[in-house]
Amino acid sequence: MNAMPRLPSFEFDDTILEQGAEISRRLDQLRLEKFPPNAKKNLRSFTMAEVAHYLGVSQNNLKRLHLEGKGPIPEQAASGRRTYTAEQMLELRHFLDRHGRTEVKKYVPHRKPGDKLQVIAVVNFKGGSGKTTTAAHLAQHLALTGHRVLAIDLDPQASLSALHGFQPELDRNLSLYDAIRYDAERKPISDVILPTNFPGLDIVPANLELQEYEYDTPLALQDKSSNAGKQFFTRLAKALADVDERYDVVVIDCPPQLGYLTLTALSAATSVLITVHPQMLDLMSMSQFLLMLGGILKTIKGAGAEITLDWFRYLITRYEPTDIPQAQMVGFMQSMLAGQILESPMLKSTAVSDASLTKQTLYEVERSAFTRSTYDRAIEALYAVNSEITSLIHRAWGRA
């Protein structure tokens, strides 16, 4: 019998170094072709029905305004269909507040003097629990409903940035690291904020350098000559104080780990959203996350951190109500966490995952690109989730 030839020998480290470099080079090439550097993302325009929906006015009211020649002039397609740009939607809000019959300015929902900047941290250390999808759609919903929003991408993998058209490998953007680093290179946060394709929504993009914060902080903690490390958890809140006046809401997409970045975000937060996919393994992982996080928070509280939240909620993500085990998990969660789970779960939808393939959100894709019922079901679920969160934000400001 012939002996099988032995497997060829190889050096693991050299091989993965070569393969890593090759994959990265080819991906860069692919990306350059598909998404040229600093390619500006556009935003589609919005139908009368959508505008009426987001503004909370009737379509008839909108039509009347238009016929009377008031407010911004919508674009009219050959089919007769009228659409407004997102900028025009904002203009309409200001117009309606200026010309409203009452003194109540309800169309521009900016916070009033004394209302605290809302900082929402989206967390869970499980990757794939829907943090980035939730953060992106929440930030964009808030912008479309007239709020001034800052999204912060705290995940070195930069998925939230990618969804907004920023590619750290090609665009060489700064990140939050530049605004919270410990050395003399630190810059004001306004230097790392960029506009997005959504009017009213700015972003602090991420890049791999964010990871440095995880290495710098333990070193800074040991530094006897300075208190900066021991107060690491104050760094984001302090950075944000510089731009407090510019925004109503900050949405932070946290990395899928319980490191210093996440703890710093949580210490700056006024509220927390924990995303969870309703499956046994995810729930087990979440319970570990809660136990670890609770423990660490106790420790940093001992070091002087103040964590006072206006609210915190669990959000069920990628939910398939017809999947019996998932429905049972939701029931199980409700029996323990009632009151703390957002009433509306985010449904699993191919509209969401397909949009993400082209680095888009549901607000960016055209409804006509999907089966109507698919798109409508997803956008309705999203609207229910985001409206619930918006009302928590408004309640924190003392609004009904």
Return the one option of ligand ADP, Mg ion, none that residue 352 interacts with (CB less than 5 to 8 A, by type). ligand ADP
* Site membership for ligand ADP, residue 321 (CB under 6 A): no
Task: Show the tokens assigned to 179.
Answer: 């605004």
* Residue 118 touches which member of Mg ion, ligand ADP, none, C-beta under 5-8 Å by kind: none
Q: Minimum distance from CB of 131 to Mg ion (Å)?
A: 5
Report if residue 318 touches ligand ADP, rule: CB under 6 A: yes
Which of Mg ion, ligand ADP, none does residue 271 bind to, with CB < 5 to 8 Å depending on kind?
none
Give 254 or 293: the residue with its C-beta nearer to Mg ion.
254
Binder of residue 346, out of Mg ion, ligand ADP, none (CB less than 5 to 8 A by kind): ligand ADP
> Residue 265 in contact with residue 254, Cβ under 8 Å?
yes
Q: Which of residues 145-174 bind Mg ion (CB under 5 A)?
A: 159
The entry of Mg ion, ligand ADP, none near residue 345 (CB within 5 to 8 angstroms by kind) is none
Shortest CB 214 distance to ligand ADP, Å: 18
**Smallest distance from Mg ion to CB 132, Å:** 3
Binder among 131, 147, 235, 313 for ligand ADP (CB under 6 A): 131
Of these, 45, 88, 118, 129, which contacts ligand ADP (CB under 6 A)? 129
Task: Tell me if 361 contacts ligand ADP by CB under 6 A.
Answer: no
User: Which of the listed partners (ligand ADP, Mg ion, none) does 389 bind, with a CB threshold of 5 to 8 Å by partner kind?
Assistant: none
Q: Computed from CA positions of residues 256, 261, 263, 267, in that sequence, does the dihedral angle turn out positive or negative?
A: negative
Rank residues 267 and 356 by Cβ distance to ligand ADP and give the closer one. 356
Which parts of 2-61 interact with ligand ADP (CB under 6 A)?
none
Question: Contact residues for ligand ADP (CB under 6 A)?
Answer: 127-133, 159, 256, 317-318, 346, 348-349, 352-353, 356
